[in-house]
Structures are given as structure tokens and as C-alpha cells.
Amino acid sequence: MSEDCLLVSVDQQKLWHFYGAGCDSYTISTARAGRGCVQDSHQTPTGLHQVSEKIGGGAPAGMVFKARQPTGKVWSDWPTAEDNLITSRILWLAGLEPGHNAGANAAGQVVDTKQRYVYVHGTNQHANLGQPNSHGCVLLADADVIVLFDRVSVGTLVYIR
């Protein structure tokens, strides 16, 4: 478990990285559909999570990922203006609250953040940072997600509110 932690504010569209005696803040985008944990809701899940996997270390800034694999192209060379590409780095989140963001809820609905493929990742939509613009993930500028990726480890706690 890491001594670092991340705090995500959906209301403020900010992510804070707390480490030792320091704190860095980043402008982000969360889901257009708001907060929620149910699968296929296209909402950003709330509550306590951890970084379960780090993907993309060493990839060029702007590298586009599909199914967590590098495509070999950076987004500036991408053939279409597709929204919300997954770029540069991926921090794959796993929920730590059974019934809220892990497993299923009391109604039997899947609420599992990892099964929903919710990430902290880079985006090609830099102009939209600071306002909701994702399908559930937490989006950062490419330079910011690379710095964050290099500073956190698997097991880092992430609280989304």
C-alpha cells in the first residue's frame, strides 16, 4: 500500500495527489452523466478505490490505447475526431466498498469499478478539461497523467466524491 493518496472532486473537476508533506492538483473531467456506480450508467463511481494496475509506462505522450493496448499512433495522428480517446497512461481503478463500487449492490446490479473498466487516463480532449466530459473515467491532460503515473504506485488509494 502506498503512502500517497488521490482525491477526486466531481463538483470541482479537480484531482489532488497528496504525498508526504506535499500536494499537487490537476484539472480533470469526469462523467457527463454525473456520479454513480452501476454498470453501463456512464457515470463516475464514488467512494474508496485503489489503483489496481498501471498501463502504458514508457509510451510516448499522446499514445492512443484500445483495450488497454497501445495502437502505435498518437492522438494527433488519429484518423478521426473521436471523442475521449484513452491516451498516454492508464491507472485502472478497483472499488474497495463491496455493494457500492465492488461486486454487486443489494438489487443485484453490477457496481464493480474494475469490471466497468473505469480508469484515470489521458485524453485528447484537453480543451474540455474542467467540465464533465467522460463516460465514467477521470480524464487528465497527457502531461499531467504522465507525471501522476510516475508518482503513484499500484495500491494507491483513490477517493472519489
Spell out the alpha helix ranges (H) of 24-87: none
Per-residue pLDDT tens over the stretch 39-74: 999 999 999 999 999 999 999 999 999 999 999 999
pLDDT at 80 over 90: no
Quote the pLDDT of residue 76: 82
First-residue to last-residue Cα distance in the chain: 21
Q: Are strands 5-9 and 157-160 parallel, antiparallel or unpaired?
A: parallel
Q: Residue 145 in contact with residue 119, Cβ under 8 Å?
A: no
Q: Residue 123 in contact with residue 108, Cβ under 8 Å?
A: no
- Residue 121: name the closest of 95, 151, 141 by CA: 141
- pTM assigned to the model: 0.94
Helix (H, G, I), strand (E, B) or coil at 147: helix
Q: How far is Cα 95 from Cα 127, in angstroms, rounded to an integer?
A: 29
Q: Is 82 or 132 the better-scoring residue by pLDDT? A: 132
CATH number, domain 5-160: 2.40.440.10
**Of all residues in the chain, what percent are helix, strand and coil, respectively (each to 5)?**
10, 40, 50
- Residue 53: name the closest of 94, 6, 17 by CA: 94
Write down the domain spans for the chain: 5-160
Per-residue pLDDT tens over the stretch 3-48: 899 999 999 999 999 999 999 999 999 999 999 999 999 999 999 9
Per-residue pLDDT tens over the stretch 113-143: 999 999 999 999 999 999 999 999 999 999 9
Confidence of residue 84 (pLDDT cuts 50, 70, 90): confident
